[in-house]
Amino acid sequence: MHRKIGWLAIVGPMFALLSIWLCVMVSPWFTWRHNAISDFGVHSVAPLFNSSLIACGIMCAIFAMGVILRFKSKMGKIGMAVFFLACISLVGIGVFHENLRPYHFIFSVAFFVLLLIATLILGPLFLLKRKTTHLGAGAILVTVIGMFGWAYHIAVGWGTNVAIPEALTFVPGGIWFMMLGAWVLGKDSKGLQA
């Protein structure tokens, strides 16, 4: 694996996050308390929204596969394999918009659950290494914020729909994945020490 594969983990999430931000800006009907992020997938911004999820998922899946092949630790490989499955699920969300039930729901739940499981596995692993404590702390923060968002939504509710807990999971998750990509850019191709 060439370290430049790290660019996929930076460009993919950045493209998706910027596309979602643009969808929010040009969609006056959208409210954080009464919509799901996936609502963009069936409105006028659908081509941008769906294609950004598909592109991000593909780029990040390729990155995850490359990292799996180079990680030396078994837990690192397992954590990145879970991330790979989350990336495939993200592609599924873009392909099967929310009117294509039950597929959209299955891919959406899989994405958010797998993302949090992956950060839960990788957080302690990175935290134990002196040179990757920032990645470990970031992964644990993603897990805590995401779990809080969903737990609060289930117990009390952020509103009538799920845009807030979705954003509390995918925004920190996307930022963390970009951090991981930057870390890989700084590594050599002989193997990753996580």
Give tens-digit pLDDT for 94-138: 999 999 999 999 999 999 999 999 999 999 999 998 889 999 999
Which residues, in sequence order, are CB contacts of 191 under 8 Å at separation 6+? Answer: 70, 71, 72
Q: Which of 121, 142, 124, 143 is nearest to 132 (CA)?
A: 124
Q: What is the pLDDT of residue 189?
A: 44
Q: Structure pTM? A: 0.93
